Structure 1
Amino acid sequence: MSKLKILTYSVIILVILNLSMIVFFMVVKPREFRNHRNGPRKMIIEKLHLDKQQQEQFESLVEKHIDKIKTFDKQIQQTKESLYAQLSQPKVDVKVKDSLITSLGDLQKQIEIARFNHFKNIREICNTPEQREDFKELSVELSKMFSHRRMSHARDNQKK
């Protein structure tokens, strides 16, 4: 076989592989991400054996919670931008820096309070003894899940 034919086949194979990867990342991965994102919702509904009415209440609680967290996330982002903008100043204003860092801590505290209240509200829609018992088990899993997320997020940030 000539070098030209080998080169031609190699290019064709590479083009097919690249197109396959593009299709994979555009079609398969977003679907997988959506399923992952809804994973906790589905898990909570299944673990607590929520009926239709409870599921509607749950979805309403989740939407309100997401909106609240998004607001805090925006505030955190703006505060961080202000904080790091201090680095462009000839001299960093220590009072401003400390104030912004304190604000970040307060915002994170508000997020944790919002999460706690969110799960407390979910507990309140559990109206059978079995669901309340299932919620106790779920609360242990949730604490592990949130602490695992923080740890993996911290590891990801250290790698960068």
Structure 2
Amino acid sequence: MAHDRFPLRINVGFLINAPISTSREIIFDLPTVDLGGELTINNLSGKVELTRTPKGIFIQARFSSIYHAECVRCLDEFDLRLGTDFNELYAFHSNSVTESGLIVPEDANIDLMPLLREYLLIEIPIKTVCREDCKGLCTVCGENLNHQICEHQTEENRTGI
């Protein structure tokens, strides 16, 4: 099962010699996971189904988590819900490589961390916004217009700018 340093590592050795179609479901529930490169997620929950196939181990995964983001308009920090589903086949041998090039390691430990990182990075918007109607910052004084209206905004409203 998972180790603290590798919370998403799964030992699939029990499936290598198992009959075809043998499967196992693994549940993840982790408070915080550092995916590397300044990407830390909270409340990671997920389900992974491992299935023995003739070519390798087929993985069906579904994860949800919370990412602590910063709004590009008002610079407030907020929690962004992320979710991803993915399917991957880890081949038993290098001569039966799959499209993704994934191979079951010799020690039979598959680390889902790199895959999860890739799939979650795709889910994070380039421009994160705390809410659709975010008013942003005043261009003159930098006041967060979601919290209060500054004198510059009332001047602009009067002059019709």
TM over 0.5: no
Q: TM-score under structure 2 normalisation?
A: 0.25
Q: TM-score under structure 1 normalisation?
A: 0.25
Higher strand share: 2
Higher helix share: 1
Structure with max Cα Rg: 1
